Amino acid sequence: MSTSPTTAPLTVTSTDALRTRARAALDACGVALPAAPSPALAARSPITGETLFDFPAAGPAEVAAAIAAAKEAFATWRTVPAPVRGAVVKRLGVLLTEHQAAIGELITIEAGKIPSEALGEVQEMIDICDFAVGLSRQLDGRTMPSERPGHRLMETWHPLGVVGVISAFNFPAAVWSWNTAIALVCGDTVVWKPSPMTALTAAACGALLDRAAADCGAPANLNVVVAADAAAGQALVDSPDVALVSATGSERMGAAVAPRVAARFGKVLLELGGNNAAVVAPSADLELAARGITFAAAGTAGQRCTTMRRLIVHEDVADALVERLADIFAGLRIGDPLADGTLVGPLINATAYESMGRALDQALADGGELVVGGGRRAAAEHGDAYYVEPAIVRMPAQTDIVRAETFAPILYVLTYRDFAEAVALHNGVPQGLSSSIFTRDAREAERFMAADGSDCGIVNVNIGTSGAEIGGAFGGEKTTGGGRESGSDAWRAYMRRATNTVNYSDDLPLAQGVNFA
Query: For residue 314, which phi and psi values (nearest 5 degrees)?
Result: -60, 140
- From CA 293, how far away is CA 332, in angstroms rounded? 13
- Any catalytic annotation for residue 216? no
**Closest to 138 (Cα-Cα) out of 491, 469, 471, 483:** 491
305 an active-site residue? yes
Q: Which residues of 382-400 are buried (b: 16+ CB within 10 A; e: fewer)?
A: beebbbbbbbbbbbeebbe
For residues 41 and 44, what is the distance between their CA atoms, to the nearest angstrom?
Answer: 9
Residue 95 neighbours by CB distance under 10 Å: 22
Q: Which of 462, 134, 422 is nearest to 296 (CA)?
A: 462
The two beta strands, 50-56 and 40-45, are: antiparallel
Q: Which of 29, 205, 305, 456 is catalytic?
A: 305
Q: Nearest CA to 42 among 27, 21, 57, 62?
A: 57
> Are the C-beta atoms of residues 314 and 415 closer than 8 Å to each other?
yes
End-to-end CA distance of the chain: give it in Å, rounded: 81
| Active-site residue (options: 121, 271, 389, 485) | 271
Is the Cβ–Cβ distance between 270 and 256 less than 8 Å? no
SS3 at position 492: helix
> String of b and e for 277-308 (b: at least 16 CB within 10 Å)?
bbbbbeebebeebbebbbbbbbbbbbbbbbbb
Q: Helix, strand, or coil here: 218?
A: coil
The catalytic residue positions are 271, 305
